[in-house]
Amino acid sequence: MIYYICTNDCTDAMTTQKVNITDIAQKTGLSTTTVSRVLSGKAKQYRIGKKSQQKVEEAAKEMHYVPNHFAANLRTGKSNTVALILPSLSNPFFASIASEINAEIRRFGYIAIISDSDENPDIEKMELEQLRGRNIEGLVIAPCGDQAEYIKSLNDRGMPVICFDRYFEDLDIPYVSTDNFMGAQIATQHLIDKGHESIACIQGVRSSTPNRLRVKGFVETMENAGLKKHSVVGDDFTVQNGYLETKLLLRQSKRPTAILTLSNTIALGCMKAIKEEGIRIPEDISLITFDEHPYLDYLSTPLSCVAQPVSDISKIAIKFLFAKINNAEFEPSQVLLRPELKIKESVRKLND
């Protein structure tokens, strides 16, 4: 009769963090030096014999060795850690980018420290300072505010830094973002093509580059078309801002015929106000927004939007990041990706 006894040894070994390089050295009769060299993949470089190599690898597997990152980092300075800082995780746009970027980073064997600066430059700076103690090897950031000093100084000092979405136009800090000017332009042009002449734009954080460029795209397109009746209102990428500003717009004696919202959060607030006031999209007012979202297709009126290539932004940013981490010579560039106009049903054709 055969008994299968579950000694539980395997799980035991795996959940107790104990075995280190010295244990393996003891077990194999080799030195910690040799063990370390094998385990860190430098066997060839240091000409470790085939036999020793094998012995070490077997022992490591058998004993469920897992290297202690902290010890290794202390010695080498390599933390296998990067920071991801963004202005607001509660904004679905940033949340989905964070998910993607985090996944990419993990794929490289690194971890990401994710921080929410809450659109507050002071918090951002504090986080950045805290992070020094974690010896981060790179920084992926959508900076809030327009103070670039600190970030620039990190970049100048050779720390791999990539801005995404938010960035600084005049500095040579690499970034990946959407062509925000073009995005606003095509959205506005779409409205104009449909016969709209009185258009309001609800903006987000004014000091941010994307917002500035979107507003610029909006204004220039309007003026190029000879349209003077445009207003730009608002000051935050939040639902609340969208709601408030829309309420105000709708109370005007002469309502705009269309609204362009510069983010999905603003659009959400805008829709809330519109619904409350009992007016209809697009019959009474047209709406188009920045940012795509899976739900847009199923809204009472499917919402036309300017889609940002979230996935591409994430991938390129991380590609740059690790190219730079692995080769300090590499110089990531500044790229703007094409947005895409997705026409649905929220813009009405005006007959004049």
Partner DNA sequence: ATATTTTGTACAAACGTTTGCGCAAAAAAT
Partner DNA sequence: ATTTTTTGCGCAAACGTTTGTACAAAATAT
Which residues of the shown chain bind its own copies in the complex (CB under 8 A)?
Answer: 8, 11-12, 14-17, 64, 66-71, 73-74, 79, 89-90, 92, 95-96, 98-99, 102-103, 106, 111-116, 129-130, 132-135, 149-150, 153-154, 157, 159, 239, 268, 271-272, 275, 293-295, 297-301
Q: Identify which of residues 47 and 228 has a Cβ nearer to DNA in the complex.
A: 47
Q: Shortest CA distance to 141 belongs to which of 117, 120, 122?
A: 117
336 binds DNA, rule: CB under 7 A:
no
Q: Identify which of residues 235 and 345 has a Cβ nearer to its own copies in the complex.
A: 345
164 binds DNA, rule: CB under 7 A:
no
Looking at 50, 157, 228, 254, which residue binds DNA (CB under 7 A)? 50
CA distance 306 to 130: 36
Looking at 20, 96, 102, 334, which residue binds DNA (CB under 7 A)? 20
Name residue 115's beta-bridge partners. 85
Looking at 21, 187, 288, 347, which residue binds DNA (CB under 7 A)? 21
Looking at 2, 15, 75, 294, which residue binds DNA (CB under 7 A)? 75
DSSP 3-state of 231: strand
Which of the listed partners (DNA, its own copies, none) does 103 bind, with a CB threshold of 5 to 8 Å by partner kind?
A: its own copies
Looking at 10, 26, 62, 67, which residue binds DNA (CB under 7 A)? 67
**Which stretches does DSSP call E strand in 246-293?**
258-261, 286-290
99 binds DNA, rule: CB under 7 A:
no
Which of the listed partners (its own copies, DNA, none) does 198 bind, with a CB threshold of 5 to 8 Å by partner kind?
A: none
Q: Shortest CA distance to 138 belongs to which of 165, 163, 169, 103?
A: 163
CB 145, min distance to its own copies, A? 15
CB 210, min distance to its own copies, A? 21
Name residue 175's beta-bridge partners. 163, 334
Q: Shortest CA distance to 180 belongs to which of 106, 236, 260, 253?
A: 260
Q: Identify which of residues 33 and 99 has a Cβ nearer to its own copies in the complex.
A: 99
CA distance 218 to 186: 9
CA distance 282 to 258: 9
CA distance 345 to 36: 63
> Is the omega angle on the peptide bond into residue 210 within 30 degrees of 0, that is, cis?
no
CB 154 within 8 A of CB 129: no
Q: Identify which of residues 52 and 263 has a Cβ nearer to DNA in the complex.
A: 52
Which of the listed partners (DNA, its own copies, none) does 4 bind, with a CB threshold of 5 to 8 Å by partner kind?
A: none
74 binds DNA, rule: CB under 7 A:
yes
φ and ψ at residue 116, rounded to 5 degrees: -105, 115
49 binds DNA, rule: CB under 7 A:
yes
Distance of CA 223 to the CA centre of its chain: 33
Give the number of other Cβ atoms within 10 Å of residue 307's Cβ.
Answer: 17
CA distance 64 to 19: 8
CB 33, min distance to DNA, A? 4
Which of the listed partners (DNA, its own copies, none) does 351 bind, with a CB threshold of 5 to 8 Å by partner kind?
A: none
Query: Residues in the site for DNA, rule: CB under 7 A?
Result: 20-22, 29-34, 36-37, 39-40, 42, 46-53, 65, 67-68, 71-72, 74-76
